[in-house]
C-alpha cells in the first residue's frame, strides 16, 4: 500500500512539474498596459489574440519588408531616426550587442522603423547603417508612410505603452522602448533600449523563445 501511495504521489508531482514546464518563463502581452501572462504556447493561442498587424515598408536597400518577412521568426522592433542625437545612438549601440550575437541567425530579425520617414529615405538609412558598421542582412532599417508607422508602433507594438496607444500621427513618436515578438508575432517583452541590463535580459528572453 505504501509503495502504491508513493507511486501515485510521484506521478502527481511529475504531472505538476510537466504542467509548470509548459508555461513559458517569458510572458505574453495582450494590451498596452503590459500586464504579463505566463502561459503555454497552446493556451496563448487561445487567450492572447493580439498580434503584430500586417505591414509593408521599404528598407535601406529599397527592398519591401512586410509582416510576412518575419513570419515564423523572432523579431526585435525599435523606433529611431537618423538625425537623433539623444537616445537613438545609445539604442543603436546597445542593439549592436544583440546584433553581434544573432547576425548569423536567420531566425532572429531586427526591424528599426524610422519615426521621421519623410526625411529618412532608403539612401539615408543605408548610409546610417554603414556609418554604424552594421552588416547584418537581417537588420532592416525601414521607412514609409508616417501615419502607418506611427499606428503600427502604438497600436501593434504598444511602443509607448498606455500613453501612446490612443495618440494620433500628429504627435511625434520618440521612445526608448524595444519590443520583442515571437514566431507567431505575439509580443513577449518590452525593454529600455538605453539600458544595457535590459539588453542583457532581451538576449536571455530571445534564447528562451528560440527553444519554444
Please tell me the distance from the alpha carbon of residue 52 to that of residue 81, in angstroms, as a whole number: 21
- Give the pLDDT band of residue 28 (cuts 50, 70, 90): very high
First to last CA, the chain: 40
Cell 519591401 -> residue = 64
Which set of grid coordinates corresponds to residue 33?
498596459
For 126, phi then psi, to 5°, come to -65, -45
SS3 state of residue 38: coil
137 and 110 in contact (C-beta within 8 Å)? no
pTM: 0.87
Per residue in 40-68, pLDDT (tens digit) is 999 999 999 999 999 999 999 999 999 99
Amino acid at each position: 500500500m505504501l509503495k502504491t501511495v508513493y507511486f501515485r504521489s510521484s506521478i502527481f508531482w511529475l504531472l505538476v512539474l510537466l504542467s509548470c514546464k509548459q508555461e513559458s518563463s517569458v510572458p505574453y502581452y495582450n494590451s498596452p498596459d503590459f500586464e504579463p501572462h505566463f502561459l503555454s504556447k497552446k493556451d496563448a493561442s487561445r487567450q492572447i489574440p493580439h498580434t503584430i498587424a500586417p505591414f509593408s515598408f521599404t528598407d535601406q536597400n529599397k527592398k519591401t519588408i512586410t509582416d510576412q518577412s518575419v513570419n515564423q521568426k523572432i523579431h526585435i522592433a525599435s523606433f529611431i531616426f537618423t538625425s537623433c542625437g539623444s537616445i537613438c545612438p545609445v539604442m543603436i549601440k546597445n542593439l549592436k550587442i544583440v546584433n553581434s550575437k544573432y547576425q548569423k541567425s536567420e531566425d532572429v530579425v531586427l526591424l528599426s522603423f524610422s519615426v521621421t520617414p519623410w526625411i529618412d529615405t532608403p539612401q539615408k538609412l543605408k548610409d546610417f547603417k554603414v556609418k554604424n558598421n552594421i552588416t547584418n542582412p537581417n537588420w532592416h532599417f525601414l521607412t514609409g508612410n508616417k501615419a502607418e508607422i506611427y499606428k503600427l508602433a502604438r497600436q501593434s507594438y504598444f511602443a509607448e505603452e498606455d500613453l501612446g496607444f490612443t495618440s494620433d500621427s500628429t504627435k511625434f513618436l520618440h521612445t526608448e522602448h524595444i519590443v520583442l515578438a515571437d514566431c507567431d508575432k505575439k509580443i513577449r517583452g518590452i525593454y529600455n533600449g538605453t539600458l544595457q541590463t535590459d539588453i542583457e535580459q532581451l538576449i536571455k528572453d530571445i534564447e528562451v523563445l528560440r527553444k519554444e
